[in-house]
A and B are shown apart, each in its own frame.
Chain A
Amino acid sequence: METTQDIASTGKPAATAAGPDAAAPAAPRTAFEISSLNLWYGQKHAVEDVTINIPDRTITSIIGPSGCGKSTLLRCLNRMHELVPKSRMTGSILFFGQDLYAPQIDPAVIRRRIGMVFQKSNPFPTMSVAENVTVGLRLNGIRNRPFLRDRMEQSLRMAALWDEVKDDLGKPGVSLSGGQQQRLCIARAIATQPEVLLMDEPASALDPIATMKVEELIRQLSREYTIVIVTHNMQQASRVSDKTAFLYLGRLIEFSDTDQLFTRPRSKQTEDYISGRFG
């Protein structure tokens, strides 16, 4: 309870994992409350007045044509957009009730609770498979070897990669195949036990079989994590997600249950997009 109250004081990722359950009511809680979010990159208005509540322990997908602000919106959720010079944001995002952008909040601490997986798999080239998985823990001060080993195995198992790499833990992370590398990155992201996983087109660079594995994995992970996934693949959104948001030109057009959005869209634009008339 205490851990969700004060984001800035949450240093140990392990402590937060049990946090949300303590006082959780039966109704699904809201992980992110995004209100009137606007974001500019220099002069470009990338996200316009977006308001969404993303529920806890569900998979929410964000779809839309290229350049519609999907990734930008996702990056606002862990403050990664701040790496882009000249980006400016207005509006607010509450993470389990806490303002993500409050002045006392350290973005690094936020990012330990909100993990991220990128479009292109990016295991660290200087590290082995095992080191890649535990790097988030090690560089945040955890030195206990047996603990690191256990967490490494546990994360690789969760990422459905353990059986494939258990004999090659000392090999460079970049020696794995593309699909394995992406699952390694997922293992790396969950090793710090975040509460949320943000995924930015995690399967777009993978072949169909690797994509299937990653999607299966996302399904598995949704039991324990809130997952927000950006995809330009509508079939993927309809296969994996519970909720879907459709973004067009930086605006939120529709946000509803995935079934409903794909079968009975409320908006004409959504209907045009999902039926392939544009985008």
Chain B
Amino acid sequence: MIGNANRHGFRKAYSRCISVFTFICACLVVAPLGLIFFHLLRMGASSLNLEFFTHLPAGPGEAGGGMANAISGTLILLGIACVIGVPTGVLGGVYLAEFGTPRVNWGIRFLCDILNGVPSIIWGIVINGLVVIPMKSYSAYAGGLALGCLMVPLVMRTTEEVLVLVPQAYREAALALGIARWKTTVHIVMKAATRGIITGILLALARVAGETAPLLFTALGNNFWNNDLSKPIAALPLQIFQYAISPYQDWHRQAWAGALVLVAFIFTLNISVRFLTRGKPVRV
């Protein structure tokens, strides 16, 4: 009996140890995020002011200036990326979920997953070869296209996943009413999964918003305002990169501020996703 009791005590202690260990691991996962954010706040918050959001970058060595052009450039690039990535990704996901045969789907999913794993800089080089060289200029189009291409596999898989969650009973009900297949897909199935689809798009946007590598060979960056999408355009990640490797103290501080703005933007996107998915990913 006494032996048993000892054994029981040992098990309890052992269980405790493992629980504590897993908790520490979980903390280690979350810790970098906290460290990054607080470090960014410490380094960047002091340089954040109205000027940062409204002014062009100052010349080397000059004080002041902002990243207004880079912020608007990032938004423009994300807009172009959406125009390219969202329809392609959503329609591809619709194909996988609603129309594809199992064999074809298997192939598409496999390629899609490989595409997802392609390093983003490769996209930059590919788009450089396909768009920048023939057009003889770095451009917002090329940058947006590179980001859009990165979005496609992400949007496609999440769209497929949420559409598959829509119960078959709704498709049957609609088809039994004599509603055409494509109308059933658009007005019944996609409508029921709207929140899930939007969630996928926002997550993909959050993912590509911070990408630097694909923009290096496509959007290039720009220290001035740019209204011509066929010309190089500024972007926050590029501006941060350029400032961070510069020798000027003032630019370093601005780079920190830019990084803080970028992270806050991505945070905001992710928080909106949380709001959208409160309850269930699919409204059923």
Interface residues of A (CB under 8 A from B): 13, 78, 80, 83, 85, 108-113, 115-116, 118, 120, 122, 124-126, 135-136, 139-140, 185, 188-189, 192
Establish whether residues B188 and A124, one from each chain, have CB atoms under 8 Å apart when the complex forms: yes
Closest to A112 in B: B178
Establish whether residues B173 and A118, one from each chain, have CB atoms under 8 Å apart when the complex forms: yes
Chain B: how many interface residues by the 8 Å CB criterion?
Answer: 23
Establish whether residues A125 and B192, one from each chain, have CB atoms under 8 Å apart when the complex forms: yes
0/1 interface trace, chain B 160-173, chain A, CB 8 Å (1 if under) = 00000001011111
A125 partner, pick from B172, B180, B187, B284, beta carbons under 8 A? B284
0/1 interface trace, chain B 169-208, chain A, CB 8 Å (1 if under) = 1111111111111010001100110100000000000000
Establish whether residues B173 and A139, one from each chain, have CB atoms under 8 Å apart when the complex forms: no
CA distance A80 to B184 in the complex (A): 14
* B283 at interface, CB cutoff 8 A: yes
0/1 interface trace, chain B 247-274, chain A, CB 8 Å (1 if under) = 0000000000000000000000000000
CA distance A139 to B187 in the complex (A): 8
Known A-B contacts A124-B188, A125-B192, A139-B187; the reply to A192 vs B173 at CB < 8 A is: no
Establish whether residues B178 and A136, one from each chain, have CB atoms under 8 Å apart when the complex forms: yes
Tell me the total A-B contact number using a CB cutoff of 8 A: 72
User: B100: shortest Cβ distance to chain A, in Å?
Assistant: 11
Q: Which residues of A contact B169 (CB under 8 A)?
A: 118, 120, 122
Q: Which residues of B contact A83 (CB under 8 A)?
A: 171-172, 175
Q: Which residues of B contact A124 (CB under 8 A)?
A: 170, 173-174, 188, 192
Establish whether residues B173 and A80, one from each chain, have CB atoms under 8 Å apart when the complex forms: no
Among all A-B residue pairs, the 6 with the closest Cβ atoms: A112-B178, A136-B177, A116-B176, A111-B178, A122-B169, A122-B173
Interface residues of B (CB under 8 A from A): 101, 167, 169-181, 183, 187-188, 191-192, 194, 283-284
CA distance A277 to B170 in the complex (A): 37
CA distance A112 to B183 in the complex (A): 14
Q: Which residues of A contact B173 (CB under 8 A)?
A: 118, 122, 124, 185, 188
Establish whether residues A188 and B188, one from each chain, have CB atoms under 8 Å apart when the complex forms: no
Max chain A CB contacts within 10 Å: which of B178, B181, B194? B178
Establish whether residues A110 and B178, one from each chain, have CB atoms under 8 Å apart when the complex forms: yes
CA distance A203 to B283 in the complex (A): 25
CA distance A124 to B174 in the complex (A): 9
User: A236: shortest Cβ distance to chain B, in Å?
Assistant: 21
Establish whether residues A125 and B178, one from each chain, have CB atoms under 8 Å apart when the complex forms: no
Q: Which residues of A contact B192 (CB under 8 A)?
A: 124-126
Closest to B102 in A: A85
Establish whether residues B177 and A115, one from each chain, have CB atoms under 8 Å apart when the complex forms: yes
User: A121: shortest Cβ distance to chain B, in Å?
Assistant: 9
A126 partner, pick from B175, B181, B283, beta carbons under 8 A? B283
CA distance A185 to B175 in the complex (A): 13
Q: Which residues of B contact A118 (CB under 8 A)?
A: 169, 172-173, 176
Q: Which residues of B contact A80 (CB under 8 A)?
A: 172, 175-176
CA distance A172 to B169 in the complex (A): 17
18 inter-chain pairs at a CB distance below 8 angstroms, sorted by A residue, are A80-B176, A83-B171, A108-B175, A112-B177, A113-B178, A118-B173, A118-B176, A120-B169, A122-B167, A122-B169, A122-B172, A125-B170, A125-B283, A126-B191, A135-B174, A136-B179, A140-B179, A188-B177
Closest to B184 in A: A139
Max chain B CB contacts within 10 Å: which of A112, A120, A139, A140? A139
Establish whether residues A135 and B177, one from each chain, have CB atoms under 8 Å apart when the complex forms: yes
Q: Which residues of A contact B176 (CB under 8 A)?
A: 78, 80, 111, 115-116, 118, 189
Establish whether residues A192 and B177, one from each chain, have CB atoms under 8 Å apart when the complex forms: yes
Establish whether residues A108 and B179, one from each chain, have CB atoms under 8 Å apart when the complex forms: yes
User: A17: shortest Cβ distance to chain B, in Å?
Assistant: 14
Establish whether residues A140 and B178, one from each chain, have CB atoms under 8 Å apart when the complex forms: yes
User: B282: shortest Cβ distance to chain A, in Å?
Assistant: 9
CA distance A83 to B170 in the complex (A): 13
